Structure 1
Amino acid sequence: MAEAETTGSSARPHRKRSPVGASPGTLIADPSARQSALNLTLISPDDCKFVDDASLDDVAAACRKWPLIWLDCVGLANISLIEEIGKIFGLHPLALEDAVNTGQRSKADFFDDHAYFVLSMIDDAKTARYEQISFFFGDNFVVTFQEREGDPFEPVRRRIRVSNPSRLRHRKADYLAYALIDAVVDSYFPIVDATGDTVDRIEDELLASPKKHQIGQLHGLRRATNLLKRTLWPLRDALTALVRSDAAFISAETKVYFNDTLDHAVRLIETVESQREMMIGLIEMHLSLAQSRTNEIIGVLTIISAIFIPLTFLAGIWGMNFDPSASPWNMPELLSYYGYPIALGFMALVALMMVLFFRWKKWL
């Protein structure tokens, strides 16, 4: 959505559900899911390490040596791998089921020693493609599940690489989870800003010269904005749950940062709602301008027709070729020497008088 016209994409997230009657916590892979790959980030106050294509043995070993671990699982096809991750970190099976069944509504669930947070992110700005990303975090770990490659986390990774002092190096998993969630929320701002710029441009074009293609652009933008609004509203509630949580692994200081992310989400919602109302207004204005233009055209054609009605009447009368030699009542004007120019002059005078009358009545 670098160009906001692409916000008109009709792609919508669809939830994949477990089969009817399946046992709670059953993990079933989507046939279209990507193969799973593990990226491991190991963090301590004095050092950090990044391991791509990590194995479960790497994860288990890191849990014993490093004070803070971020495991990023990209792709949800390997169910056995995801189950093993759940066992290593003690993740609740119902939350794991929600992580695998994509298309979840944004929410925050709390368990004894960890929390589950899920939201949607736009992983392709050009096509506005949504994907679900799930966060599990406890006292010393963060586990994220993504549907495919591509995320807004690179600034967070750079901050982890930065030498001391670094909050991400010295604080616990709740602050790392905040930084990752905040990155996803902030990734919406360029999309929303691009949409606003496009709406402003369409408004200027619409006021200058209404075109048929503008109404299609506005409907596409409104459809995409409605989808974005449905995505952001539950996110606000989920972030509110994090701010108000009494979980021991979420510190009071981190809640202040989560509250800042909540403010960002509220601002996004307000901006999207404002843009949506503006789009509706522009659609109505486009229809009004088109109707006004149609009325102007009909008015001009009506005036032209009104002018030619008496002229047609006169031409019809003088066109009745009755022989004046047969009777004094039969069209003596036909023998007039200057009959033709007099008739044309009289008709021109009638047309001029009608035009002046229409201007006096302000119909022209």
Structure 2
Amino acid sequence: MTKSRIRAAKPDTQPHFDYFYDKPGSLPGTLNIGVDAQPPVIVLIDYNEADATRQTLATPEECLPYLDTESVSWVDVQGLGSEDILQRLGQVFNLHPLVLEDIVNVPQRPKVEDDYEDHLVMIARMVIPKESGGFHSEQVSFILGKHYLLTVQEEPEHDCFEQVRQRIRYNKGSVRKLGADYLAYTLIDSIIDGFFPVLEAYGEQMEDLEDEVITKPTRQTLNKIYRVRRELLNLRRAIWPQRDAIAMLIRDDNDSLISDRVQVYLRDCYDHAVQILDMVETYRELTSGLMDVYLSAVSNKMNEIMKLLTVVSSIFIPLTFIAGVYGMNFNTEKSPWNMPELNWYWGYPLCLAAMAATAAGLIYFFWRRGWFENFSDVQDRTSRKRG
């Protein structure tokens, strides 16, 4: 096995660095199928402005009659669990071994490769919100030809393309009036729009965390903040290169496969990607601020506890001192050095006077140091002077 990935210790958390990499010395173009990968299902949707058909294909070779027709053929491969089918799929669509490796060996960094004559390659990340919080993330690969579009999904159960399928089926919008490049734009736009529900859920979590940090911060609160910050980092790693990939699609070098009309739509898709990236960065800054507020709240709570303990200690220190002095009852008849003050006529008043003088001296010292001055009063006087 040449499959290597950096994985987190906990299976329920998404790692910061989860890109695929080959072991040193492995053969280029080697396909590594995950043990939990589902068998691929090939779904073909062939349509033009007048008609649309949908069917499930048994073999990749059944796609061949649809690749050179004037209609648009969308071949959607759902699952990566068969190396034989994927290799045959690469032969049918004339895919370079390294392109097939990028499609199969997930996850890859989102990118666009336009160095091939008859097709264009794009790797994207699709996110779907979870009901329990967080999000699913999977890789979607696009192979765009003149009259066809091949998509390969990592996990078919997490899909945001259903509305596009319905638009093709019921001939809504312009999807059946335009070519395969518009279909590719529509699917990419669905992927980009899929980030917004995820970010909306994180926005609600941020509001709840703000209330929790201010009213009742606990250790679990810090864990929640860290988890949200970690997941936002994963979102940033998904949308940042995807924005750059969309920018590459807008370049003039792709005129043979992407028309000027579709490039206008892609510019709007690029604007959405930039907006999502701004939202992710804003939320990440808010999580940093929440961490600072949490630490301040915990520090203030600790200060209140120390203040209470200090007051209690200050009350009992003189009592302890008095009890300690009067508890040292040495017999003066045995030795003149055994506390002769116990036999003084004015010993008790002098002892109280010494205690009062000590307390007064400490109060004067604390007053000279400014420890009795209220900081809020200082701020009020400062503001009055400035006014």
If the TM-score is normalised by the length of the shorter chain, which range does it land in? 0.7 to 0.9
Match of 1:4 in 2: none
Letter in 2 for 1:181: I
2:124 paired with 1:116: no
Alpha-carbon contact 1:122-1:130 (below 8 Å) kept: yes
Which of residues 163, 171, 174 in structure 2 aligns to 1:167? Answer: 174
CA contact (8 A) 1:236 1:266 kept: yes
Cα distance change on mapping 1:363 and 1:181 into 2, 3 Å = closer
| 1:3 alignment partner in structure 2 | none
Q: Cα–Cα, structure 1 residues 306 and 53, in superposed 2: closer, same or farther, change >3 Å?
A: same
In structure 2, the residue matched to 1:93 is 97
1:5 corresponds to? none
1:52 maps to 56
Q: Using the alignment, how far apart are the partners of 1:18 and 1:320 within structure 2? A: 80
Q: Deviation at 1:359?
A: 10
1:61 and 2:68 are equivalent in the alignment = no
- 2:214 alignment partner, SS class: helix
Task: Report the TM-score, using the length of structure 2 for normalisation.
Answer: 0.79
Cα distance change, pair 360–64 in 1 and its aligned pair in 2 (3 A): closer
Cα distance change, pair 331–191 in 1 and its aligned pair in 2 (3 A): farther
CA–CA distance in 2 between the matches of 1:324 and 1:361?
Answer: 47
Contact kept? 1:120, 1:131, Cα under 8 Å? yes
Q: Which has the higher contact order (CA 8 A, sep 6+)?
A: 1
Of residues 154, 161, 165 in structure 2, which corresponds to 1:157? 165
2:160 partner amino acid: P
TM-superposed deviation, 1:317: 3.4
1:11 counterpart letter in structure 2: Q
The change in CA–CA distance for 1:316 and 1:79 in structure 2 (over 3 A counts) is closer
Over 3 Å counting, the alpha-carbon distance change for 1:255 and 1:64 in structure 2 is: closer
Amino acid of the structure 1 residue aligned with 2:270: L
In 1, Cα distance between the equivalents of 2:61 and 2:70?
14
Runs of 5+ consecutive residues of structure 2 not aligned to the other structure:
1-10, 377-387
- 1:214-225 correspondence runs (5 A): 214-225=221-232
Contact 1:14 1:103 in 2 (8 A): yes
Equivalent pair of 2:128/2:198 in contact (CA under 8 Å): no
Structure 1 pair 324–48 and aligned structure 2 pair: CA distance change class (3 A): same
* Residues paired across the two proteins, number: 345
Q: CA deviation at 1:73?
A: 0.6
Q: Is the 8 A contact 2:59 2:85 kept in 1?
A: no
CA contact (8 A) 1:43 1:66 kept: no
Deviation at 1:144, TM superposition (A): 0.5
Superposition deviation, residue 113 in structure 1: 1.7
1:142 aligns with 2:149: yes
How far did 1:361 drift?
4.3
Is 1:242 the counterpart of 2:238? The answer is no
2:14 is matched with 11
1:204 equivalent in structure 2: 211
RMSD, matched Cα: 3.3
Q: Is the 8 A contact 1:38 1:72 kept in 2?
A: yes
2:307 to 299, 307, 315: 299
Question: Residue 287 of structure 1: CA displacement?
Answer: 1.1
TM-aligned CA distance change 1:360 to 1:28, over 3 Å: closer
Structure 1 counterpart of 2:266: 258
> TM-score with structure 1 length normalisation?
0.83
Residue 363 to residue 315, structure 1, CA distance change in 2 (3 Å): farther
Distance 1:47 1:40 in 2: 14
Is the CA contact (8 Å cut-off) linking 1:42 and 1:66 kept in structure 2?
no
The alpha-carbon deviation at position 123 of structure 1 amounts to 4.4
Instruction: Show structure 1 runs of 5+ residues with no match.
Output: 1-7
Percent identity of paired positions between Structure 1 and Structure 2: 34
Q: 1:81 to 1:281 in 2, by over 3 A?
A: same
- Compared CA separation, residues 363 and 240, structure 1 to 2 (3 A): closer
